[in-house]
Amino acid sequence: MNKPVLDIQDRPTVGQWITLSLQHLFAMFGATILVPYLVGLDPSIALLTSGLGTLAFLLITKWQVPAYLGSSFAYIAPIIAAKTAGGPGAAMIGSFLAGLVYGVVALIIKKAGYRWVMKLLPPVVVGPVIIVIGLGLAGTAVGMAMNGPDGKYSLLHFSVALVTLAATIVCSVLARGMLSLIPVLVGIVVGYVYALAVGLVDLSKVAAAKWFEWPDFLIPFADYPVRITAEIVMLMVPVAIVTLSEHIGHQLVLSKVVGRDLIQKPGLHCSILGDGTATMISALLGGPPKTTYGENIGVLAITRVYSVYVLAGAAVIAIAFGFVGKITALISSIPTPVMGGVSILLFGIIASSGLRMLIDSRVDFGQTRNLVIASVILVIGIGGAVLKISDSFQITGMALSAIVGVLLNLVLPGRPQEAENLFEAENDSGHVA
């Protein structure tokens, strides 16, 4: 390991603090605002709750895990479905319940260890489900990219998406240093400038917006009735199967970056509880579910600045940005094809990360067992299968594929043994499970 510039408990100077915190903010900014944009939530709430969630995470992990929490892409389709079924309030209830699942899992892990989690969520299950998440959103991305406000094909709008996509790809592949960590933000900026040049941007709301503006909170009981239905539970809660595995993967990578076994100390149960608490805080205020961000782990790896004070600083700035009306209005003025352009790449990367998990974990598709599990998950998830038990209770698409995958993995013979120590197993094999 390279010697850290600032270790986990090191306090930066004021100048370093502001600069390095802004760097982390920019790394997560593009992806974090994209999720609320896609699901129809207030971007300022996403910024505010990402900051609050990160502070809660740092507190729960005893200021030992340098991680930033942003909006989770895994919940995009479930939030849209929940909003369609019962309005924004239903999506928030579902998000809160998903966060509550994290709390339950954290409690069980503290008492019984984490091996049972790996039995439920091996790469052969989680990898294909992640592919389903990405490819299931492909139609949404393409529709945003090539259609005008009337829903019909528009070459002008598609050109905006293609310019945005090209800028994002070029930055991802050719950029170095900090720019290589913010390709989404760069793509949005380039696409926005092009859209402005061709007349697709309306800046009137930005001019009219106040500098200080109260975010559009969604508070339970005050803004919507709290009714927990089986449909909401089945739309949102099963997604935690995937995001829990994503969380474990991030903790393994982060442990490798900082040179400490974070799975053991402060413990996987602490980081999972922190992630779930951040999601519940977000749901109570009207924001999307939260997850640790790979972009910010990348910033840690490149800069070798692991200080939790820097992450906390980024969180405070994000909270402050949530109350700046001009920023919210500027985000809202981004044309749909710009977001469609970056979504084409982002959703494809989600699907590709599922493939990478299968490759890195050396899942052998020469074994019929693995081939069956992955095949069934992919077709059920991408095909949009629905298990309708009654008019008010049904399990759809991604949730159904995840549940079926877990059951097949438990029932079919030949399940491999799990490693005793996740961090040591990851270091020995040289890859992340």
Model pLDDT, residue 73: 85
Q: Is the pLDDT of residue 391 over 70?
A: no
Confidence of residue 55 (pLDDT cuts 50, 70, 90): very high
Q: Is the pLDDT of residue 47 over 80?
A: yes
Burial code (b: 16+ CB inside 10 Å, e: under 16) for 218-244 equals: bebeeebeeeebebbbbbbbbbbbbbb
- Of 180, 160, 178, 161, the C-alpha closest to 170 is 180
61 close to 75: Cβ distance less than 8 angstroms: no
Q: Is the pLDDT of residue 252 over 50?
A: yes
CA–CA distances in Å: residue 303 to residues 58, 177, 228, 239, 349: 20, 9, 45, 33, 24
In sequence order, what are the residues at sequence separation of 6 or more whose Cβ sits closer than 8 angstroms to the Cβ of residue 301?
Answer: 257
Find the mean pLDDT for residues 77-93.
Answer: 91
Q: Tell me how crowded residue 322 is: count the other CB atoms within 10 A of its CB.
A: 25
245 close to 409: Cβ distance less than 8 angstroms: no
The dihedral sign for the CA sequence 7, 59, 422, 70: negative
Query: pLDDT tens across 339-371, in order?
Result: 889 889 888 888 888 898 899 889 999 999 999
Pairing of strands 290-292, 69-71: antiparallel
Tell me the pTM.
0.82
Separation between Cα atoms, residue 385 and residue 110, nearest integer Å: 36
Q: Is the pLDDT of residue 422 over 60?
A: no
Model pLDDT, residue 433: 33
Q: Is the pLDDT of residue 431 over 50?
A: no
The average confidence (pLDDT) of the chain is 87
CA–CA distances in Å: residue 95 to residues 60, 98, 286, 393: 20, 5, 10, 18
Model pLDDT, residue 429: 46
In sequence order, what are the residues at sequence separation of 6 or more whose Cβ sits closer than 8 angstroms to the Cβ of residue 375?
Answer: none
Confidence of residue 25 (pLDDT cuts 50, 70, 90): confident
Percent of the chain with pLDDT over 70: 94
217 close to 46: Cβ distance less than 8 angstroms: no
Model pLDDT, residue 425: 54
Query: pLDDT tens across 163-218, in order?
Result: 999 998 998 888 877 677 678 888 889 999 999 999 999 888 888 889 998 888 99
Model pLDDT, residue 348: 87
